[in-house]
Amino acid sequence: MEPDRAPVPQARINEMIRAPKVRLVDDDGSQIGVKDTNEAREYAWAKNLDLVEVAAQADPPVAKVMDYGKYRYEQEQKAKLARKHQVSVNIKEIKLRPKIGIHDYNTKKGHVQRFLNQRAKVKVTIMFRGREQAHPERGRDLLMRLAEDVKEIGQIESPPLQDGRNMIMVLGPTKNAGVARDDAKAEDTQRREEAVQGDGNGQAASPQGDEESPAREEVG
């Protein structure tokens, strides 16, 4: 849980200021000049305010007359607001082969859908080996098919790009991602069952990953 107050740097105030002299700035921003620290402190207290060191590295340090409690509160609110607007980017990765079988493809697609519904970005990598590198269009077609299959919850943030022996595409969640996770899960389960029922003898292919027998049905 995010704390009510985000930490902000602690400044030296009043008796905590160690420098013998400071460059004094009044509470309205006007420059008063270099003053003995004790004199500057008395000047601030006479206004029922604090003397706050705002530039410790300067020579002499810069100190400003202000209501430190109010200043501290404003800085904490700014820090809290900045933290709220920070985007935590969570990237998952899925790897495919150009000659992936239909059952493996559906499994990988299910992972992509799950990640997108978790509001994560998905880096999809096509791994080419040997002669497969001569046909990069096959990997591109596979990536675009995947993007089309998950378009309700995922959008292309980085189109398919060749990176050495790999081809990479990045998908990001749409505003619909994660809205109806239970429905998406039920639909995915139904698709898996239909795939099993339509597989010849009604048996699913063994989950051997991308290296299973070439006799399997491939994604067209």
Q: Tell me what pLDDT residue 32 has.
A: 92
Low-confidence ranges of the chain (pLDDT < 70): 1-9, 85-89, 180-220
Distances (CA, A) of 209 to 78, 106, 216: 50, 12, 12
Q: Tell me what pLDDT residue 202 has.
A: 45
| Sequence-ordered list of residues with C-beta below 8 angstroms from that of 63, at least 6 positions apart, any chain | 17, 22, 23, 24, 25, 37, 40, 51, 52, 53, 54
Q: Tell me what pLDDT residue 88 has.
A: 60
pTM higher than 0.85: no
Mapped onto helix, strand or coil, the DSSP state of residue 168 is: strand
| H runs (alpha helix) in the chain | 37-46, 68-85, 102-117, 136-149, 181-197
Distances (CA, A) of 166 to 124, 135, 162, 184: 10, 12, 6, 30
Q: Tell me what pLDDT residue 126 has.
A: 94
| Sequence-ordered list of residues with C-beta below 8 angstroms from that of 94, at least 6 positions apart, any chain | 108, 111, 112, 115, 122, 123, 124, 125
Q: Tell me what pLDDT residue 211 has.
A: 45
Q: How far apart are CA 125 and CA 160, in angstroms?
A: 9
Q: Tell me what pLDDT residue 168 has.
A: 95
Amino acid letter for position 186: A
Q: Tell me what pLDDT residue 213 has.
A: 43
Helix (H) or strand (E) holding 55: strand 50-55
